[in-house]
Chains A and B, each alone.
Chain A
Amino acid sequence: MGWKEKILRRSLWVYHLGTGACNNCDIEILDVLTPRHDAERFGIKLVGSVRHADVLLVTGVITRKCLPRVLRVYEQMPEPRVVVAIGACPMEGCVFKGSYNQAGPLDKIVPVSLYIPGCPPKPEAIIAGVAKLMETLK
């Protein structure tokens, strides 16, 4: 098993799923890919299809409308797969907490490996989180 994780660590392909974010977290994710922060240094690549992905980035509160979609996208991912929750929204709802439309925190729906708190988290925080994720994948 060892070498698989070691290789996966150096080549994380990311699929970004916005489930109802206020769009700030999505912008911060784009920031991580810009020349200033350049996540491709670590082999991280944004892919267009969830079938190519290793990491599912979830931004935003899980709305009732989005709940079945989150499940479907998660089931379409090939193993081994990792879910990362960006921002305070998928954790407990942030400013949308208690809303009639909130379908609950993300970890009640799918297993989450990494939380990056913040509203929105800074790009540096996202990179630090990803570095921690890489360490756990040893």
Chain B
Amino acid sequence: MNNTLFSFLVFPGFLFIAVIGLLFMGIDRKLSARFQWRMGPPLWQPFVDFMKLLSKEVVLPKNVNKPMFFLSPLMGLSGVIVASLLLFRAPLNPQGAFIGDLVVFIYLLLLIPLSVILGASSSGNPLSSVGGSREIKMVLSYELPFILAIFTAVLKVGSLRMGDFLLYQSQRGALFLTSPSCVFAFVAAFLVIHAKLALAPFDIPEAETEIMGGTLIEYSGPLLALFYLVRAILYFTLTAFLVFIFWGGITFTGWGAVLSLLKILLVLFLVIVVKNINPRIRIDQAVRFFWTRVFVLSIIGMGLAIIGW
């Protein structure tokens, strides 16, 4: 019992993912600054921002739907915490989880855009509704390629349990190094991660210079801090998920832990590079990009996996 509580709240639960997530966000801001030849903020800046937002006042807009406005950040946060628990408990006990936790993980990740959409549409601001509708279009366009990409790996491994990905890859080497189908799937999933994190070139729902923060425009103080934390945790969880599924899994013991951390940091670095060398595209371009390019990419991966590559 005590042990369960510890794993929920400290390691690998809430505290662990929150601290690493905020740190990842700091790395993102620092590296982005270096890409633009700036000094950039200190690495712990996101912690400071988070604490500051917690200490501020919540301003309620006039025509807001109160219950929805308060509940949606909580919904996003609980979704991302449970999802990352599923992911990070797998290396501790590969056979411990139920079969199908991968599917549950994908569903739980969907709670985050859902919470953003609900929060945006309950805050009664025209610009946030624009952001919310863009978020809906983004979800509709990136979700199918993401699922196809992951199920390419599922076809290779032959199991829906995350722990089995670890066992399979520890015996036969990393999926994306040994099978061509998973290379396609990895690239597709990598592009989808940008959209899930709302990073450039897919930061269309938030578009600061265009719709002023879009979905989050009416949020302030602690509620905004929760959304900030969700985004930070998502940084860590999604990059770790990519490494977990396609690149040999992650472990928490011995040199394996260092190696998995290095892999995750490398994926994070690639994410930041792509973010910094691309401008924001329009929503119609994004939908077309996902439905033609990325979708085709993941279909090719799926086809290759079916014929056994």
Contacts and interface: CB of A to CB of B under 8 A. Distances in A.
Interface of A: 4, 7-8, 10-11, 13, 35, 38, 40-43, 47-49, 51-52, 54, 76-80
Contact of B216 (A7, A49, A77, A80): A49
Interface size class of B (residues with CB under 8 A): 20 to 34
B36 A35 contact: yes
Nearest to B36: A35
Nearest to B37: A35
Nearest to B210: A48
Interface string B224-249: 10000000000000000000000000
Nearest to B39: A41
Given A7-B52, A11-B48, A41-B40, A52 B208 contact: no
Nearest to B207: A48
Interface of B: 29, 33, 36-42, 45, 48-49, 51-52, 55-59, 208-209, 211-213, 216-221, 224
Contacts of A41: 38-41
Contact of A78 (B33, B209, B221): B221
Contacts of B37: 35
A79 B213 contact: no
Contact of B220 (A35, A40, A48, A51): A51
Given A38-B38, A38-B40, 4 more contacts: A7-B52, A43-B42, A48-B213, A52-B220
Given A38-B33, A40-B41, A43-B45, A11 B220 contact: no
Contacts of B57: 78-80
